[in-house]
Structures are given as C-alpha cells and as structure tokens.
Structure 1
Amino acid sequence: MNMRLTTICIATALLAACATQPKPLQGQFETLTAHQAAANNMTGSMVRWGGRIIRTEPRPDRTCFEVISTRLTSDGRPYWASDDTWGRFIACRTGFYDPALFEPNREVTFTGRIEGYEERKVDGFIYKFPRVSADVVYLWPKRERVNVITRPSPWPWAWGW
C-alpha cells in the first residue's frame, strides 16, 4: 500500500512540474477579465492577461499592443477553445518591440498593473480598453499544425488493439 501511495505522489509531482508557468509569468494576480476591468474601475490591479495580438504600435519611448483576450492555460498560454473572448486590452512596455515579430494573431501573455483606460473605435463602435503597464511581455512560439493520417493496419489481428 505504501509503495502504491508513493508512486502516486511521485507521478502527481512530476505532472505538476510539467504544467508550471514560465518563471516570468509566475506570481499573484487578480482573477478578472479585460471585459470585467472595462466595466468596473479596476485601476491598480495586478493582472496576467493573454490573447492574440491585433496590432503592435511602436512609440518613441515604448511599444503598445492591442490584444483580443482569452483565458489562459495552467502554464499561462492563451487557450482558444471557442470564439468566446474575454474582451480587449492594451498593454504597453518600455522599449521597442518589432511589429514584424509581434505580428497580428501571435499569442502573447502580459503581466502588469492596470494603469487606466483608453477609448478607441472598433469598426465604428467606441470600445473602452483597459491599459496595462506591462512588466512582462511573453511571446509564445508559433503552434505548428500537423496533419495526422491514419490508415487501418495491414495485419487483421491488430485491428482490435
């Protein structure tokens, strides 16, 4: 019985280690969405938000990113299970981030503090964006698409396996 319990504990610890967030994304953050932050005054809240880049805007002293937000996986990567989004936000960070690398539809996660709000038009609609002063800009590697083709086994005895 003790050996079985020990094996289960070790397996659980190994699986938990695989699901940890990259070090820059770790920490304590408010559990609110960009949509909730826009509906309420949440200025000063520490957040970890992510999504897909809509636009990258280099400015003289910083770069701002307009992002469509979604929930994050346990490792902090944006998760796209459906078309349901968590709103939009703007994240700004000191320095130059190249729009050729930080291009539309790239997945990115930010950590930082909500410093205010900005109104912009989205297809003629006035939209209130929470603006995050980002401490971390984490660009995720592109996901590779793989086509998997399955064929029946040429060995009839293997079909039931």
Structure 2
Amino acid sequence: MKKWLIFPLIVLLSACVSAPEGLERDEFTIQSLRQIEDSDYVCQCRKVRLGGKIISAEALKNQTKLEILSLPITTYSAKPVIESATDGRFIAYLDGFADPASLKDQYITVAGILKEQWRGKIDEADYLYPIIKVTAYKQWRLAKEYYYEYDDWHDYRFRRFGHFRHWGWDPFWRPELKLRYRLY
C-alpha cells in the first residue's frame, strides 16, 4: 500500500469511533466520580461526562430522576465499560418525561452540570450523591456476541487438518464458543 494512503485511511477509521453529539470529550472538566472535589460544588458550573448502569428511575413533574451506578467510560466513544468496577453512584435529572420502566437496568452516558450533593441512603448506609443536571445523554443497548478465541481456531485447524502424528487429533473436537457483551 502506498504511504500517502495510510494517513487518510487512519483519519477515516478514527471517525468511526466518536462520541454521540453532545458527549464529545474535549468539553468536559470532570469525567469520573473520583475527580470530583468539594470545591467543584461551589460554582455549580463544572461540566461533567459520566456513565454507568441505571439502578432506578423516577418520573417527576417536569423531569426524570435517575440513580446511576457509575462506571468508567471510554475516552472516545463515551460508552460505559461494563466489565469494570464501579466508582460510586450519582443522581442525574433529565428534562421532560422518560418512561422509568424503559430506563431501569439500562446503560447510559450523561453530560451536564455538576450542581450539588444530596445526602441519601444505600440500604442502611448514608451516602453523598453528586447531582447532575443533564444537558445531553445517550442510552446504550446491550448486545450478546458469541465468538471463538483465535487460538482455539488455530488449535482446531491444526488438529482437524494437521498431521496425524500428533496424539491430540480428534475429528469431533470443536473450539469452545464464548459469550461477551458489548454496548452499541
């Protein structure tokens, strides 16, 4: 391949992995609950981009309140990383009505303004929830994918079509099918 084609190809492919509109990473000062400090609540003007799994949703008069189990988000696509450990919880307020039944147990990324802290409870424990006034959000869909590990396919081809001199040859052996989840 010619060298002058590599750069345009890289630019074209990098455009495929971009955050939804309003969730671009350059605008936000806070992208993790661990980055929030007490001084950030004073001005009520800090921009945040957080994501996670919706634990509960409640429809209020002119807005919808979400309690979200925070997960780290990917830098470019803004998707929550579902395999990672949580770093806390936060409350997000969406303008307008969103059906709570359709939001519960879904994954979401929100962008907005850090407003204040709210003292609540998680079971019997006291907890300080950061409150986010949402300006943009993306609800992600969870998909199941079945796949084979590359090494398993290599072993299968070698056992199936390789030399008969190996003791492990078995015409009925198949690679193990694996399951993973991804957001889209």
Range class of TM-score, shorter chain: 0.7 to 0.9
Which residue number corresponds to residue 156 of structure 1?
162
Which residue number corresponds to residue 118 of structure 1?
118
Report if the CA contact (8 A) 1:33-1:87 is conserved.
Answer: no
Alignment partner of 1:13: what SS? Answer: helix
Q: Which has the higher contact order (CA 8 A, sep 6+)?
A: 1
2:79 to 77, 80, 83: 77
CA RMSD of aligned residues (A): 2.2
Alignment partner of 1:60: what SS? Answer: coil
2:25 corresponds to 1:23: no
Q: Which runs of 5+ in 2 are unaligned?
A: 164-184
Aligned partners of 1:41 and 1:87: how far apart in 2?
Answer: 19
Q: Which moved more, 1:111-120 or 1:136-145?
A: 136-145
Give the length in aligned residue pairs: 152
Aligned partners of 1:69 and 1:98: how far apart in 2?
Answer: 21
Which residue number corresponds to residue 11 of structure 1?
9
Deviating runs (4+, > 6 A) in structure 1?
none
Which amino acid is 1:58 matched to? A
Deviations 1:104-131 (A, max 9, x none): 2x11011110111111111211111110
Which residue number corresponds to residue 128 of structure 2?
128
Larger Rg: 2
Q: Which moved more, 1:70-79 or 1:24-33?
A: 24-33
Q: Which moved more, 1:125-134 or 1:26-35?
A: 26-35
Relative to structure 1, the CA distance from residue 142 to residue 96 in structure 2 (aligned partners, 3 Å threshold; closer, same or farther) is: same
Which residue number corresponds to residue 50 of structure 1?
51
Which residue number corresponds to residue 33 of structure 2?
34
Q: Which runs of 5+ in 1 are unaligned?
A: none
Aligned partners of 1:101 and 1:148: how far apart in 2?
Answer: 32
Report if the CA contact (8 A) 2:29-2:48 is conserved.
Answer: yes
Deviations 1:19-70 (A, max 9, x none): 1111232250013422442x42313211111011111111112101011112
Structure-2-length-normalised TM-score:
0.73
